[in-house]
Structure 1
Amino acid sequence: MHRTFTTTSAVALLLSLTACGGGNAQKPASPGTLAGKPLTAHAAFQKMSTTVPTANLTGTVTAENDPNHLLGRPHEYTSKVTFSDSWVSAVQVTGADPGDIGRGGAIEAFANPTDAKARAAYIHGVTKSLPALAEYDYVHGSVLVRVSHYLTPKQAAQYESAAATLD
């Protein structure tokens, strides 16, 4: 018995394969993303502040006011916000600049998790031997949450838990 493979047969086969293949299935979002796009620092803060109500947004870092001059540079943060925390006593941060990590913290968002991890490793390396600059750092996906060393470990753990929800 001889069978002829026609264009109609090819289309039918193709349609049956794509119907079963789930070619349009969405991948689950990676940590530190919102609908598959990297999370911005502001969006991360909004989500995190629902879990840590002592955090108050104090500033948005721009290329013009970035003290580190890193915003938007290759492999550096794509957005950054600073926040204060009411657990940090004003006496502890007298004279500190308004966006200083010691007042509460900062959230830095990156294009990818590798850059966020590299930044956290760099900060750890710089502050390791300087206790006055020490801080708690939590990376979740493409987001780095930096928290004041004036917080107790138990208080900082709330930020760590909040960072883990940044999906």
Structure 2
Amino acid sequence: MRKSALSAATLVIALGVLTACGSGSDQKNTAPNSTTTATVDASTQPAAKPLTAGDAFTRLAAKVPSARLSGAVTADNDPNHLLGRPNQYTSKITFTDSRIKADDVAGAEPGSVGLGGAIEVFKTAADAQARADYIQKVTKGIPMLVEYDYVSGTVLVRVSHYLTPTQAAEYKAGADYLG
């Protein structure tokens, strides 16, 4: 009898040790603790969808109802050959503005900023600002090429000089919600 009592006691101790070891190492069978729920591995989180020029135009057009999408720039039709190049825009669209008189833009190339404008999106805010600075520098002495340029984060909104300053200010106000 003494042998069976000792065997039973040994069995109980062995089961206790196995149960104690198992509960600490198998966390999927236990409720999560604060350390487990507070730690998030950023590499497994989905990256935020980058803003595209099309997305930016949708937001901008909600603020400026006279703007109409006129085209999406691709690597095949980009007149500047900048799309996707280092430090240049990653997406671009062009738009028209119904307040611009047809006589003012007669003969303008489709997609011309003079018809309304363009939205260019860059990887970094510094790249967007550098592009705006470049455009302003190049067009400064050429009245027919002057335009309004508004940078908001990684987005550059280019607006036709045929719009009045008050009309162009609507685009500036809309651009403030893009970056």
Q: TM-score range by the shorter chain?
A: 0.7 to 0.9
**Structure 1 runs of 4+ with >4 Å offset:** 15-19, 21-25
SS of match in other structure, 2:149: strand
Structure 2: how far apart are the matches of 1:165 and 1:18?
37
When the two structures are aligned, how many residues end up with a matched partner?
A: 150
Select which of 129, 143, 155 maps to 2:141. Answer: 129
Structure showing the higher helix proportion among its residues: 2
CA apart distance, 1:128: 1.1
TM-score normalised over the length of structure 2:
0.75
Aligned Cα root-mean-square deviation (Å): 2.4
Structure 1: how far apart are the matches of 2:121 and 2:137?
20
Relative contact order higher in (CA < 8 Å, ≥ 6 apart): 1
User: Percent of aligned positions with the same letter in both sequences?
Assistant: 59
Unaligned runs of 5+ in 1: 1-7, 26-34
Q: Residue in 2 aligned with 1:3?
A: none
Select which of 157, 173, 179 maps to 1:161. Answer: 173
Q: Residue in 2 aligned with 1:109?
A: 121
TM-score normalised over the length of structure 1:
0.80
1:72-87 aligned within 5 A:
72-87=84-99
- In our comparison, the structure showing a higher alpha carbon Rg is 2
Q: Residue in 2 aligned with 1:70?
A: 82
For residue 118 of structure 1, what is the amino acid of its counterpart?
A
Structure 1: how far apart are the matches of 2:34 and 2:96?
57
Unaligned runs of 5+ in 2: 1-23, 28-32
Contact 1:61/1:79, CA 8 A, preserved across alignment: yes
